[in-house]
């Protein structure tokens, strides 16, 4: 593979990897909305706080699991982006330079240095994407784990509210 083909292949690979970021981000957004909706519905149906209530104690299970899911959503939304030191492709490193300094350094690099920078960026983006994907998967699994205790807690809360209405009538 000559240098022109290598540059084209590296750019194509970088673009391919970049296409996966919006997919993972949309999954994280979906889980975030689902988690918040589940927590809001649970809170809206919770009876007055009673530390001796078994239903409220049980409701801690879905709250904690959904909280863990939200933690993974956060980690997936803001993965570790440290790296790419002195890169002429990585946006954080580019931002550390002046406009003219970046333009000068970028235009004066050799073809081999450019290919190397592209390949390093492909690796860096792949590592970030892997972290985002793993976090999205963990968040999704935790939300799934929370569904049954969440439903049971809702049922207990609704039953408790119905019992209170019967006793006060």
pLDDT tens track for 7-26: 999 999 999 999 999 999 99
User: Which CA distances in Å does 103 have to 15, 94, 118, 134, 157?
Assistant: 22, 10, 17, 36, 63
Q: What are the φ and ψ backbone dihedral angles of 11, each rounded to 5 degrees?
A: -65, -40
Query: What pLDDT, on the 0 to 100 scale, is given for residue 165?
Result: 56
Query: What pLDDT, on the 0 to 100 scale, is given for residue 124?
Result: 92
Query: What pLDDT, on the 0 to 100 scale, is given for residue 10?
Result: 94
Query: What pLDDT, on the 0 to 100 scale, is given for residue 99?
Result: 95
What number of other Cβ atoms are within 10 A of residue 23's Cβ?
A: 13
Query: What pLDDT, on the 0 to 100 scale, is given for residue 8?
Result: 94
Residues of the chain with pLDDT under 50: none
**CB within 8 A of 157, min separation 6: which ones?**
42, 45, 46, 47, 55, 59
Angle (CA) 129-135-137 rounded to 5° is 100
Query: What pLDDT, on the 0 to 100 scale, is given for residue 54?
Result: 81
- Rg (C-alpha) for the chain, rounded Å, is 25
């Amino acid at each position: 593979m000559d240098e022109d083909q290598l540059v084209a292949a590296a750019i194509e690979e970088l673009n391919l990897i970049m296409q996966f970021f919006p997919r993972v981000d949309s999954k994280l957004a979906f889980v975030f909305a689902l988690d918040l909706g589940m927590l809001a519905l649970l809170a809206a149906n919770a009876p007055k706080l009673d530390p001796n209530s078994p239903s409220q104690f049980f409701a801690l299970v879905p709250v904690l699991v959904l909280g863990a899911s939200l933690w993974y959503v956060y980690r997936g939304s803001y993965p570790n982006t440290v790296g790419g030191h002195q890169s002429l492709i990585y946006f954080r490193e580019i931002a550390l330079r002046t406009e003219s300094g970046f333009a000068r350094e970028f235009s004066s690099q050799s073809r081999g240095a450019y290919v190397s920078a592209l390949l390093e960026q492909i690796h860096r983006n792949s590592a970030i994407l892997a972290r985002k994907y793993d976090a999205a998967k963990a968040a999704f699994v935790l939300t799934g784990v929370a569904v049954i205790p969440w439903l049971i807690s809702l049922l207990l809360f609704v039953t408790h509210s119905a019992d209170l209405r019967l006793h006060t009538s």
